[in-house]
Amino acid sequence: MTETKVGDSDAKQGRLRYFTPREVATHNLAKDCWVTINHRVLDLSPLIEENSADLLPWWRDSQYIVGRLTKKARWLEVVNVLTQQRHSLEVCCEETLAEIQTRYLRLNAHAGSYTWKHLEDDEFVPLHMQRTLDENGIPDESPIFERFDMDEQQFMPTLHIYFDDDLTIM
């Protein structure tokens, strides 16, 4: 049996590769059942619906794999410089900025019309959309906050988005 890999093209199609535990937990109904096994997120809804007596080991069937469970969920804040709106997003540490942008589409349908930047040495620097937050120089500092018993929600990394005036709708 071949294993399907969830590729980078999924972000372009609006499909996420990584899910937070909170997102997986929302799929807890008989007709919408997701589980995680070995950091993989599986949609077992069709399996439950079929209720077939002739089941091969279902956990090896790639049709049920919808993605992977993140190793670490992170919070960040996105500030729209044009409208001054702020949104907190829980994202997966493995996601690229393009995949984070896909998450942000729920909040702003024109997310593709913005340049994403972060503050580095008193200058706003454009982010590389095919890189993760860590790869863009935005480290996960939550272990430090945990060590000093600080609320990481109070010290989230902030990304600034600048409108490009092209009205892209993804």
What local confidence, expressed as pLDDT, does residue 5 receive? 47
Residues of the chain scoring pLDDT < 50: 1-9, 11-12
Q: Angle CA(93)–CA(116)–CA(130) in degrees, nearest 5?
A: 50
What local confidence, expressed as pLDDT, does residue 17 receive? 86
What local confidence, expressed as pLDDT, does residue 53 receive? 59
What local confidence, expressed as pLDDT, does residue 4 receive? 43
Q: Which CATH number fits domain 9-69: 3.10.120.10, 3.20.20.70, 3.40.50.2020, 3.30.2310.20?
A: 3.10.120.10
Q: Do domains 9-69 and 73-163 have the same CATH topology?
A: no
Report yes or no on whether pTM surpasses 0.85: no
* Look-up of token digits 């439950």: 48
What local confidence, expressed as pLDDT, does residue 117 receive? 97
What local confidence, expressed as pLDDT, does residue 14 receive? 62
Architecture of the structural domain at 73-163: Roll (3.10)
Domains of the chain, by residue range, sit at 9-69, 73-163
Distance CA 56, CA 70 (A): 27
What local confidence, expressed as pLDDT, does residue 51 receive? 65
Distance CA 93, CA 41 (A): 16
